[in-house]
Amino acid sequence: MKKIFAAVVFMISALVLVACSNQQSLDGDYYKIYNGKENALVFKIEGDNSYYYPDGVESSATVDEKNHKINYTDKGVNFSLDYDYDSSGELTYSGPFGKDQVYKKGSEAYKRAIEKKD
């Protein structure tokens, strides 16, 4: 009986570890890509040390993965961007200034966007 219980606990632990390791990390550099060329760095996400580059100027940011929000302060004003992340590496975000999409460097979505010429 103890062996069966130990085997069941082991299998459940393995499933939990596999499920957690399959979560897609947002960490990375995200670029706008126009006409098949990397245009501008928009986000640098590194856990608690994240940055947003509106107009090319670095602003500290926090990423709230639970609520799909990126929060940052620009010139003393707090902003919040809603985002959706595609497992292929495309991040679509929207806020007070509209909606846009960026691509995680090295991801499948990034490679497809670089290959695409408008």
Q: CA-to-CA distance for 11 and 19, rounded, in angstroms?
A: 12
Residue 23: what pLDDT? Answer: 46
What is the DSSP code (8-state) at residue 18? H
C-alpha pair distances (Å), 99 with each of 20, 30, 46, 70: 30, 15, 22, 13
Determine whether 111 is exposed, middle or buried from the number of CB atoms within 10 Å of its CB (0-12, 13-18, 19+): middle
pTM for the complete prediction? 0.76
Q: What is the pLDDT along the chain (118 residues), one digit of tens a residue?
A: 766 644 444 455 544 444 443 346 899 999 999 988 999 999 999 987 899 998 888 999 999 999 999 999 888 889 999 999 999 999 999 988 889 999 999 999 999 999 986 5
Report residue 113 as tokens.
């966007």
